[in-house]
């Protein structure tokens, strides 16, 4: 009894030393975003990345230091923000895409703000142009990628459309992701919804299923294990020459290969694309409103927009932002990507996912 008490005292003394011990070297994260309005906090998902030099340039221009907080994938990060609505963890949230936009807006997550320079952003990506609660930052296309070597070796024509994928010559060649757990998977499904309409898309998937589409849980596994055209897939002896991935995947295959190949090992079926648009917004209840607004202006400035592609493998939205050479040389132009209105997605999403699961799984 008294032993425990004495022990407790000893241990408490030791406990006080813990923060001191662990704080060695982790002083860079000063915790809360309160206090000094010299810091502006950007809350985002795990995929956010920007070159340190570019963030330093922002600090030089405006005097604000950017503090980045990441928490999970796009869906998890947004939902955490919804849960902490009213007392947000930061000033700006980056990374809500068109498939989740309605949920964010319905919860009243953002304070309207019209970013400086918005006139250089095309109207077709401004999905909240009336109120400016969110600002479009980047776009990315989800498309079927193909393994060039596979089709060349067999003298088989590369599929050119959604319709081709259900033809017998492409039986057992496609791998895609689970719609319920993966955003590329969801995007591909939404692409088919846009293409075949609310009445026809389920019939299309039944045919796709009959044609041997393989479904795995996430993009990593589909792309790095099952797909025969990626570096990881080649090592894992993947045997599916068609995969649902991004239009920016071929440039990545080139960029991260040594030695650099003359042409990308993979290509994009550009008529099977669904466009994702990512937005950022000023959080309702942000402690540093002025800093948040400055950051939003900066996110659509050419400096940040040109830095984005190589960090996040997405396309800039601002007119005049130059794409890196590796993208222009190895990437694919997607002339007419499929889209579905955010409101429609929000309304039907759960139902669509459920019926997709019952058809395919």
> Interaction with another protein in 112-171: which residues (CB under 8 A)?
none
* Among the listed residues 65, 79, 111, 344, the single contact to another protein using CB under 8 A: 79
| 180 binds another protein, rule: CB under 8 A | yes
> Interaction with another protein in 265-324: which residues (CB under 8 A)?
307, 310-311, 313, 324
| 13 binds another protein, rule: CB under 8 A | no
| Pair of tokens at residue 120 | 């250089």
| 58 binds another protein, rule: CB under 8 A | no
* Among the listed residues 99, 139, 230, 339, the single contact to another protein using CB under 8 A: 230
Q: 134 near 281, Cβ under 8 Å?
A: yes
Angle between helices 52-62 and 302-312 in degrees, nearest 10: 160
Phi-psi region of 191 (alpha: psi -120 to 50; beta: other; left: phi over 0): alpha
Residue 144 half-sphere exposure toward CB, CA atoms < 13 A: 26
Nearer to another protein by C-beta: 37 or 181?
181
Nearer to another protein by C-beta: 163 or 236?
236
Residue 194 half-sphere exposure toward CB, CA atoms < 13 A: 20
| 351 binds another protein, rule: CB under 8 A | no
The Cα–Cα gap between 46 and 43 comes to: 10
The least CB distance from residue 84 to another protein, in Å, is: 5
Per CB under 8 A, which region of 124-132, 164-172, 176-184, 269-277 contacts another protein? 176-184
The least CB distance from residue 328 to another protein, in Å, is: 14
Sign of CA dihedral 81, 179, 330, 97: negative
Q: Chain centroid to CA 186: how far?
A: 12
Per CB under 8 A, which region of 67-75, 187-195, 271-279, 295-303 contacts another protein? 67-75
> Interaction with another protein in 14-33: which residues (CB under 8 A)?
14-15, 18-19, 21-22, 24-26, 28-29, 31-33
The Cα–Cα gap between 319 and 100 comes to: 25
| 262 binds another protein, rule: CB under 8 A | no
């Amino acid at each position: 009894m008294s032993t425990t008490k004495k022990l407790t005292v000893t241990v408490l003394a030791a406990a006080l030393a813990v923060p001191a011990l662990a704080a060695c070297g982790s002083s860079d994260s000063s915790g809360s975003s309160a206090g000094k309005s010299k810091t502006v906090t950007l809350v985002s998902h795990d995929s956010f990345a920007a070159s340190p030099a570019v963030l330093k340039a922002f600090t030089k221009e405006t005097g604000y230091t950017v503090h980045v907080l990441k928490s999970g994938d796009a869906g998890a990060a947004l939902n955490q923000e919804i849960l902490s609505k009213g007392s947000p963890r930061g000033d700006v949230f980056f990374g809500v895409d068109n498939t989740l936009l309605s949920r964010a807006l319905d919860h009243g997550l953002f304070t309207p703000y019209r970013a400086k320079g918005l006139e250089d952003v095309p109207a077709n990506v401004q999905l909240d142009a009336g109120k400016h609660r969110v600002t479009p930052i980047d776009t990315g296309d989800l498309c079927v990628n193909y393994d060039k070597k596979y089709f060349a070796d067999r003298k088989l024509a590369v599929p050119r459309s959604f319709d081709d994928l259900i033809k017998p010559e492409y039986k057992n060649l496609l791998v895609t992701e689970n719609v319920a757990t993966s955003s590329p998977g969801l995007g591909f499904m939404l692409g088919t919804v846009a293409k075949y309409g609310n009445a026809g898309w389920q019939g299309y998937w039944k045919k796709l299923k009959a044609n041997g589409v393989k479904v795995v849980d996430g993009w990593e596994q589909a792309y790095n294990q099952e797909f025969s055209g990626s570096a990881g897939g080649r090592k894992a002896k993947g045997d599916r020459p068609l995969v649902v991935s991004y239009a920016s995947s071929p440039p990545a295959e080139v960029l991260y290969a040594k030695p650099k190949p003359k042409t990308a090992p993979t290509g994009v079926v550009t008529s099977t694309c669904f466009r994702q648009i990512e937005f950022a917004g000023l959080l309702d209840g942000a402690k540093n409103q002025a800093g948040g607004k400055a950051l939003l202006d900066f996110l659509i400035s050419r400096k940040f927009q040109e830095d984005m592609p190589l960090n996040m493998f997405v396309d800039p939205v601002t007119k005049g932002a130059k794409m890196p050479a590796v993208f222009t040389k190895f990437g694919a132009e997607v002339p007419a990507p499929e889209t579905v209105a955010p409101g429609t997605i929000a309304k039907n999403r759960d139902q669509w996912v459920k019926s997709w699961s019952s058809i395919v799984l």
